[in-house]
Structure 1
Amino acid sequence: MAETASTNADMKILARQGVEEGFWLRAEKQSGGVGRLGRKWESPVGNLYCSTLVTCRSADPAPSSLSFVAALAVHEAISAHIPHDDILLKWPNDILVSGLKICGILLEGSGDAVIVGIGVNIAVAPQLEGRTVTSLFQEGADRNVTAALFLETLAPIFADMLAEWRQAGLAAILAKWQERAHVAGTRLSTSDADGKRIDGEYAGLFDDGALRLRKADGALIAIHAGDVHFG
């Protein structure tokens, strides 16, 4: 479609109408795109704005862990289109290229399904307050790469990752994620529910995907949600 408020919102409507897993919805532009924690997601023409639907099954891993599936799929799709390998996953579902944010992933529940919204900067790196971002074009991608072409790369990769998530289990997905993430010992900071800063070192992931953070006193704590920053 040419323009919509939000592909995630549209996909929720389609989910109620019975659209099947594997369907992708893409818009050229969004007027009301939303990122994690309710932040506005800038949506200029030229970038990818899309959503898909995953129907939750009783034997599936926790639905929230689909964020790792999505991040791995986007990481692989980006890797197919840029001429260098400085592509890093940052917990929980950021993809950084040359140290800069290039993608947004938002999961939302809808009945027995999860809507997976993905935005990737293809042609434009919109200015974001407090953040420095990049785009595929800035990172050397062929200028013939369009949002539609990128989705053609992404969709089958996502399907393969989703199948692995179901068949091999979450542990296999988390192992792949950690191979592509910041190294153990990387200094990270986050905040608790009261906004108090927490500093520590990245020490891997817990079995459920929670961030394992080692504090200065050696204590290991689990971070289940929130923003994480380097340093």
Structure 2
Amino acid sequence: MAETASTNADMKIRAQSGIAEGLWLRAERQSGGVGRLGRKWESPEGNLYCSTMVGCHPDDPAPSTLTFVAALAVHKAISAYLPHDDVRLKWPNDILASGMKICGILLERAGNAVIVGIGVNIAIAPQVEGRAVTSLHRERADINLGPAEFLDTLAQYFADTVEEWRRSGLAAILTAWQLNAHPVGTRLVTSDADGGRLDGEYAGLSDDGALRLRKADGAIIEIHAGDVHVG
């Protein structure tokens, strides 16, 4: 479609009508795109704005862990088009190219399904307050690469990773995620439940995907929600 308010909102409507997994919606532009924590997601033409749906089955891992599935799939797709390997995952679902944000992922529950919204900077790197951002073209991907071609690649990686999540379980997904993340010992900054600043070192993930942060006194705490900044 040429323009919509939000591909996630459109996919929610379709999910309620009982569509099967595998459908992707893509818009050239969004007038009401939203990122994590309700932030506005700038949506100029030339980038990828898309959503899909994953049904929740009784034997699946926790639906919230699809955030790691989505991040892995996007990481694979971005890496396939870049001439360098400086592409890293940052908890829980950020993808950094050359240390800069290149993607946004938003999961929303819709009944017995999870809507997965993905935005990837392909041609343009819109300004994000407090963040360094980049795009695939800026990172020297083929200048002819467009959103439709990228989505074809992403959709296949996403389907394969969802299948792995169901077949092998969350532990396999978290292992793969950590192999593509910043190394253990990386300095991170986040906040506690009261908004206070927390500094520490990345100490891996817990079995359920929480961020493990080693404080200066050696104590390790688990972070289940919040923004994380490297350095």
Do both proteins adopt the same fold according to a TM-score greater than 0.5, normalized to the shorter chain?
yes
Task: Show CA shifts across 1:112-145 (max 9, x none).
Answer: 0000000000000011111110000000011111
> What is the match of residue 126 of structure 1?
126
Asked if 1:196 corresponds to 2:196, the answer is yes
**Aligned residue in 2 for 1:49:** 49
Q: Which segments of structure 1 move beyond 2 Å, counting only runs of 4 or more?
A: none
Aligned residue type for 2:127: Q
Q: CA deviation at 1:18?
A: 1.3
SS at match of 1:80: helix
Gaps of 5+ in 1: none
CA distance in 2 between counterparts of 1:125 and 1:118 reads 15
Q: AA paired with 1:95?
A: I
The TM-score normalised by the length of structure 1 is 0.99
Q: Which residue of 2 aligns with 1:98?
A: 98
* Residue identity in the other structure for 2:57: R
Q: What is the CA distance between 1:189 and its match in structure 2?
A: 1.0
Specify the SS of the correspondent of 2:81.
coil
Aligned-residue sequence identity (percent) comes to 75
Give the deviation of 1:191 after TM superposition: 0.5
Which residue in 2 is equivalent to 1:186?
A: 186
Q: Per-residue deviation at 1:90?
A: 0.4
List aligned pairs for 1:1-231, cutoff 5 A. 1-231=1-231
User: Any idea what the Cα deviations from partners look like across 1:10-32, whole Å, max 9, x if unmatched?
Assistant: 00001111111111000000000
TM-score (norm 2): 0.99
Question: Deviations 1:145-195 (Å, cap 9, x if unpaired)?
Answer: 110000000001100000000000000000000000010111111011211
Q: Runs of 5+ in structure 2 lacking a partner?
A: none
Deviates more, 1:27-36 or 1:11-20: 11-20
The number of residues matched between the two structures is: 231
Q: Secondary structure at the match of 2:10?
A: helix
Once residues 129 and 200 of structure 1 are traced to their aligned partners in structure 2, the CA distance between those partners, rounded to angstroms, is: 23
Distance 2:223 2:34 in 1: 23
SS at match of 1:221: strand
User: What do residues 190-210 of structure 1 show as CA deviations (whole Å, max 9, x unaligned)?
Assistant: 011211001111000000000
